[in-house]
Amino acid sequence: MHLTGPSYGVTAQGNKTFTQGWLKDWFAGGQLRLTYGEHDYAAGNGLTANSIDDYMFDIRGLAGHDFVFQNLIWNLPDFGFSPYTGLGFRELFDDGINNSAGGFYRRYSHYLYLPVGSTERFRLTENSRLSLNTEFDWLLYGWQVSQFGDFDPGASDIDNSQHIGYGLRGSLMYEHPSWSVGPFFEYWNLGESTTNCDNVACGDEPNNQTIEFGIQGKYRF
């Protein structure tokens, strides 16, 4: 089956860079991302549904170190390299009961993951630079909640655990002192979950992939 469609979202980010002492050039911060979209469902058996409400919530704490080099690449004024890691939590909510066809159910997906990434910054002019971010996300633990009672009053929720999976994400931003804009992508590949049962049936979450790409704009306060 496939869920496809546009999503819209907002991101908030805060960073603290240390400039003195043994923490000099280290940084710490947090990110919060929220998205919403109305997506269309299509299955191999011909079953379809339109306008399923999908929500995504992603919160992370990150820490890393800034390295700055002068005239290292192509005689650019400076080049920055900032590796980082941290801890993230991602939640997806598919509101299956709100769609054009009916007969679906609500599903919650939760992922606790370890992000490891880096950001490279290339100075272009006195007031502009390019910023390239790449990241690998290692799934630590995932769990699914499928509310089968939405279409079968005699059924209860099924909880499934996921232990194998990873994510990839990246972006290329053109940055000015107060704003930036550029493309981004995000990819998740999650392995098959455990099989659990309710009082009516058994089920699992199959191997699945999520691909997201688009344009983002940021304003720095």
Nearest 5°: phi and psi at 151?
-115, -10
* pLDDT tens for each residue of 142-158: 999 988 777 777 778 88
Question: Count of domains in the chain?
Answer: 1
* pLDDT tens for each residue of 158-214: 899 999 999 999 999 999 999 999 999 999 999 999 888 877 778 888 899 999 999
Residue type, 12: A
* pLDDT tens for each residue of 67-91: 988 766 555 557 889 999 999 999 9
Q: What is the CATH number of the domain that holds 129?
A: 2.40.128.100
Closest CA to 30 of 10, 53, 60, 64: 60
Residue 221 has pLDDT above 70, yes or no: yes
Q: Structural domain of residue 150, as residue ranges?
A: 2-219
* Structural Rg of the chain based on CA atoms: 21
The span from the CA of 122 to the CA of 134, in Å, is: 15
